Every structure is written in structure tokens, then in C-alpha cells.
Amino acid sequence: MDIIAFIGIGSNLESPKENCEQAIQYLQNANGIRLLAQSSFYKTAPIGMTEQNWFVNAVVKISTTCDPQKLLDSLLSIEKEMGRKPREKWGPREIDLDLLFYGPQSISTETLKIPHPEIPHRRFVLEPLNELDPDWSHPQLKKTIHQLLAELPSGQEIILIE
């Protein structure tokens, strides 16, 4: 059975937009994944570790036959294939693929937290999600993406890339 899922994509090393585009190509070629929609790209200020390059971020909406852990494993495999190196939390990265939502499910294991716990606090995730599916409901917070974005405090610079 196909499940709708959303994947956050980000990069701030070398050619960030090209890295994100390449990651989307990898996703399109991955077994059990069908790309349904892609958001615009956004240039975003770093969070946490602010002394680094700005990021390029986007979100894709997919249909998948993979279970959540297999989907996460595919994302980690793509990151590795693209040369992501282990670094400090919130540090620079070649590519970052985050499983944001997996259908209406809530999952919490050692390796997997769905929905991604930072969604309600991250403009660089909410803006592209809102572009793709403003009425998508957060299964734990019982609020739409549009509502979460409206409730987000000002700040967190984000610029649409034309």
C-alpha cells in the first residue's frame, strides 16, 4: 500500500542548490519511492550553529511502498552516497535528508521519530511544506501546516530562490 510521506532536503556546502537537486534525482531513482511534488528552493539562515554558510532547503512529497525504517535507511544511504560526513549537530553538511511525515503515523523509536520533532519550530521546513500541502494535518498537534506556520514567531530568515 502506498503511503504519502514528506522529506526535508538541505545543504550548505559546495553547491547547495545543486546538492539538493541531486538528492531529488536520487530519490526519484530509489526503489519504492515515487516523487509527487517538489517545493521551491529556499535560502535559509542556519539555526543553532549560526557561524556557517546559509542553507538551501526544499521539501518533496512522495508516495512510497517502503515501511518507515526502510525509507529512513534509503535516505541515509543517499546521504552517504552523496558524501555526507559526520559532523557536529546543526553543523555544515553536504546533504541532509529528513523524514518529516509518514502518512498520519506517529512513531518514536531509538532511530526514528515521526513526525520529525522540529517541524513546528522550523520556518525552513514549514514554508516549503505549506507550499506543497497547507492542509496536511500534524498527527500529534492536530493542526494544519498552514496553522503551524501562522503560529511560528517571527525570525528565522528565509528567502525564496527564483
Enumerate the active-site residues: 84, 93, 96, 98
Residues ≥6 apart with Cβ < 8 Å to 103:
3, 4, 5
Classify 133 in phi/psi space as left (phi over 0), alpha (psi -120 to 50) or beta.
beta
Measured CA distances, 66 to 74, 123, 162 (Å): 9, 28, 33
All 3 cell numbers of residue 15? Answer: 553547491
Contact 23, 61 (CB under 8 A): no
* Region at 92 (left for phi over 0; alpha for psi -120 to 50; beta for the rest): beta
